[in-house]
């Protein structure tokens, strides 16, 4: 993308906290990942326009920032759905059927991991251990769904779509 096209991208507003964080850390070596964490915390993902603004503010080439962002699975370049369902693929969950859950979820929503449904309602994320191994297999979306079986998914998706699920 040429600089002239990039210049036309609307510049997002950084929160005062983020602005201060960048100011405090931008000149310290190895701080890019910490800054990107803060950036993702503010937006829920890393919008291209925000990365562009960051690149200008910390005087680091876009390519270098994208190199880091694309290396780590933690960073998201696309906006998650209103309900971002994290399916645990840690060892305990995997052994107890995490992969079946993930596959069933993909089938039901018609999307893959790191994709968003057309209506923006759901996205799926595959994550490592979320610290509830005793409840394996586990999915997380606002709350933890433990000992989850594929048969429970339609009900959970329905409740999430209707505005929230509390077990
Ligand atoms: S492996 Fe899934 S919660 Fe620990």
User: What's residue 32's pLDDT?
Assistant: 95
User: What's residue 7's pLDDT?
Assistant: 52
Question: Strands 144-145 and 122-127: what pairing?
Answer: unpaired
Token readout for 132 is 């509830």
Per-residue pLDDT reduced to its tens digit, 63-100 = 999 999 999 888 989 899 999 999 999 999 999 999 99
111, pLDDT greater than 60:
yes
User: What's residue 9's pLDDT?
Assistant: 59
Ligand 1 mean position, distance from CA 154 (Å): 22
Cβ pair 49, 12 in contact under 8 A? yes
Domains of the chain in sequence order: 3-71 (no CATH), 83-161 (3.40.30.10)
| Integer Cα distance of 130 and 109 in angstroms | 23
Q: Residue of the nearest CA to atom 1 in ligand 1?
A: 90
Atom of ligand 1 nearest to the CA of 90: 1
165, pLDDT greater than 60:
no
Q: 6: exposed, middle or buried (C-beta count within 10 Å: 0-12, 13-18, 19+)?
A: middle
3, pLDDT greater than 60:
no
Per-residue pLDDT reduced to its tens digit, 124-162 = 999 999 999 999 999 999 999 999 999 999 999 999 999
Ligand 1 mean position, distance from CA 122 (Å): 22
User: What's residue 99's pLDDT?
Assistant: 96
User: What's residue 1's pLDDT?
Assistant: 47
Least trusted range by pLDDT, from 7-11, 39-43, 83-87: 7-11
Pocket test for ligand 1, best of 136, 137, 146 (most atoms within 8 A of CB): 136
Which is nearest to 48 in space by CA: 86, 15, 4, 1? 1
Mean pLDDT of the chain: 91
Ligand 1 mean position, distance from CA 51 (Å): 32
Name which residue leads in pLDDT, 11 or 119. 119
């Amino acid at each position: 993308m040429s600089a002239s096209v990039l210049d036309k991208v609307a510049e997002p507003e950084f929160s005062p906290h983020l602005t201060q964080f960048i100011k405090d850390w931008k000149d310290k070596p190895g701080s890019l990942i910490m800054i990107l964490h803060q950036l993702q915390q503010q937006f829920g993902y890393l919008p291209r326009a925000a990365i562009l603004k960051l690149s200008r503010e910390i005087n680091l080439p876009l390519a270098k920032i994208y190199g880091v962002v694309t290396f780590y699975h933690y960073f998201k370049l696309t906006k998650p759905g209103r309900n971002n369902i994290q399916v645990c693929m840690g060892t305990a969950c995997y052994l107890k059927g995490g992969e079946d859950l993930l596959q069933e979820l993909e089938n039901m929503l018609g999307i893959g991991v790191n994709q968003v449904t057309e209506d923006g309602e759901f996205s799926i994320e595959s994550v490592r251990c979320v610290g509830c191994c005793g409840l394996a297999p586990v999915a997380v979306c606002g709350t933890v769904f433990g000992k989850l079986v594929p048969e429970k998914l339609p009900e959970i998706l329905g409740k999430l779509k209707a505005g929230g699920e509390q077990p």
